[in-house]
A and B are shown apart, each in its own frame.
Chain A
């Protein structure tokens, strides 16, 4: 195959699409250009789940052992678990392609499941804020071409989205920004001096949990209510705030990127409401936009698919036969904490590592089906493990970048592993076959 250009990275929400790799003997031998270190590691490949497997337990409460089996057996077992479940949960969907997500929604309808995705423990609060006040935003190319002021708030792209500044924001060069960072200003707001903060023109080191107050102060100053702002807000002096406000007003195009430092601190979605309101306030002076730094490469995509198919972006209950949305009640962690679900399919995510302990404890007790290319803490208690092809390396499909621009992942090598879409589709067909049989027997 040789050199492959325009390769699309399936790691983070940056979805870099200018990567060049060397493929030989059906293997990615080298990443020659474009990818960051983590993206490179994903493209080159690392430890995989070798085979489908089902857990054998000798007795109740025993952790048991995974026994390798065929795809057919694992898929059949998965379908049996889901068809028998009364309150199944289908969770994950962010590190796979939209084609798989679509079948996921169909499966959820078929078995009356709750379908939820990683946004519910990530930028779910941002979604709630958007539902409250909307989101004035733009594509990343707009930022690249126009922005002369970039604010990262509670986000550390130098570590988490390594190519973000270079491709799209502070360091990139575009039409009105041909000089790159020389002609731009960078403001970083965070609770500690991160690698990104070290690059900033202004770094506001705020006290933990005081984001809401600082957004409010900036809003007040942008609207001209200087008198109501005290000398110090959330660990930041009024002078510093006034300096930032001056930068915001003088910018031709300002952009705020916010991360989980804002969504997952005290105030949660209220912080984001306030961040968006601050953007609106700035918009009365100049052009200003705001964007969440989405983590997984297609978490934006599952929100899109789930929304156009059910009307709602995450935490959707289909047990009534129609879509019912109520985050806080129906998000995966809440269902698990209430010990409500009796089976779960976990795909392209790792709640075993990322959910609160109480949720994980219940998850470990119920039958769990895992679909993933890679082993992770969820594998440790999964009852059925189904390995999948790596999207973007072994399988193609559509994904949505953090700015909701759809890009098609390329397939670089052939594989024996099934793609997520095919696995979920086969589970769906098996479930239908079981239900049809039961229906006939019931007659």
Chain B
């Protein structure tokens, strides 16, 4: 069903020998194994007598990391940069022969974003929220991020078209709209953020899961179910990707569980989850207010353990200052009211919105400490790592550059205990983390950072997240032996690879960026029935004629914005 687009792969042959390979999609759990690479792909064997050889000398080798959810490009990311010069200054770095200038910590500039991810061994990142009307902006920045292959999820849930069709129950027409938006934005999958709540925020209000959205007379629950069904009308590589209602509110774990239940019976068009809920840490809260706030990671994990239709990413907290940003406008306003810090908001007509405010996670504050615990609890309490992805919802719970800290925490009970000792005592009373003994092994780390994420996004069918024959030659070689147990050494190794190889080309060596090839942008083209599309367009064109401030013909993202395309066609599955 899929055709790769034009891509620039390194020519020639490369052999990685003496590495201890963790390739969970192919069932390889720490085996000494050679990786043969030709013209940017993994191959069974090499032909040339004088290939380039990298001797991994017993180090850990994994497929390139795949981030399932990160805010790296587009309007709100850039608004975050613009209004936080104090964050910009934190990350400045001098240009080199191969690297452009760098700035920023929680909101790094485009160049730094590419370099820092690549240094951690990541080669694919999903931009998690693209407002359709501003999709050109997201793509302009994605093009400017070096090295990383990328994609973006258009926001489709607060759209008036979506709500109109959900109200009338026309799932096929809703599917036609989803298909059109996917093509018009060069998007990858259906993103849902506080469905209904962001539209209500147009009037300064918010919406609970079963409240009627003002004027539109549909509930968030109906929107989620409708979009889940519409998504499965096509062989979409990814499921609906949901930021559930009531993010960050004490007691919201019930909303999260109810959301999973909504779509439990939906039949998928591909062998994958029905729903992926993102930054689930922010949605696993118990209590009724910040005073009696407790972790409910156990309840959410139990649900995930007992059901097969849902996956999560954790959105785990990194202590320190960061910049929060989301299409969930009302939530950012609440946060701003809580802290009194600066606040930017940007509502987008007929579609979505966004809010941004800085935030400091402090280990001395009880609530933050419990939040810090919840993300890790989710990873540790969900038994099957194929249901969990490592994220910080960059930069919301902390910048992506903190991933190595989380990896070291998940791998070391000792490190978690040491950290807990330094933190607010609430962690021992209102969180479960100190009582959890489980430690991740490297195979499980490989699952939650590349195997699971590639599969949940359907990218394993397109050469991502594994090192089987035919896969993209995206490889990370970490400077540790598989026996390493020292949390500090693990953290250091996952921050700066010995080698990162992207499409067969060495892009990072000894923790330094040595080449900056352009990444590809992956997008999905759902193949929709023409009759349905025509019928849908009548309604859509009416919206443009009367309510949008941009003309219909100027709306779709032109090909010029995606110079390195990788198109995935998704056929109608009915």
Contacts and interface: CB of A to CB of B under 8 A. Distances in A.
A6 B136 contact: no
Contact of A325 (B85, B133, B550): B85
Contacts of B136: 398, 406-408
B81 A17 contact: no
Contact of A141 (B140, B357, B547): B547
Contact of B549 (A144, A310, A396, A404): A144
A178 B547 CA distance: 10
A408 B140 CA distance: 12
B107 to A, nearest CB: 8
B208 interface: no
Interface stretch (B29-37, B251-259, B348-356): B348-356
Contact of A146 (B94, B202, B546): B202
B547 A139 contact: no
B82 A313 contact: yes
A102 B137 CA distance: 13
Contacts of B140: 98, 305, 308, 398, 406
Contacts of B101: 109, 309-310, 318, 321-323
Contacts of A404: 75, 79, 134, 137, 346
A408 B559 CA distance: 11
A142 interface: yes
B159 interface: no
Interface string A281-313: 001001101000000000000011101111111
Given A137-B346, A142-B202, A407 B550 contact: yes
Given A98-B140, A252-B203, A323-B101, A407 B84 contact: no
A305 B78 CA distance: 9
Contacts of A322: 92-95, 101-103
B85 A6 contact: no
A173 B215 CA distance: 18
B554 A134 contact: no
A367 B294 CA distance: 66
Contacts of A405: 133-134, 549-550
Contacts of A323: 88, 92, 101, 103, 109
Interface stretch (B40-48, B117-125, B337-345, B490-498): B337-345
Given A5-B553, A322-B102, A405-B134, A311 B85 contact: yes
A282 to B, nearest CB: 10
B100 interface: yes
B109 A308 contact: yes
B102 to A, nearest CB: 7
A160 interface: no
Given A109-B95, A408-B136, A137 B345 contact: yes
A252 B205 CA distance: 11
Contacts of A135: 79, 83, 344-345
A174 B547 contact: yes
B549 A141 contact: yes
Interface in A384-403: 396, 398, 400
A1 interface: no
Contacts of B539: none
Interface of A: 5-6, 8, 17-18, 98, 102, 106, 109, 127, 130-142, 144-146, 167-168, 173-176, 252-253, 280, 283, 286-287, 289, 303-305, 307-313, 318, 320-325, 396, 398, 400, 404-408
Interface of B: 73, 75, 77-79, 81-85, 88-89, 91-95, 100-104, 107-111, 133-134, 136-137, 140-141, 144, 202-204, 215, 333, 336, 342-350, 353, 356-357, 546-551, 553-554, 558, 560-561
18 contacts: A5-B553, A130-B82, A130-B83, A133-B342, A134-B342, A144-B349, A174-B546, A176-B215, A280-B343, A308-B73, A308-B77, A308-B109, A310-B109, A311-B91, A311-B109, A321-B94, A396-B560, A406-B134
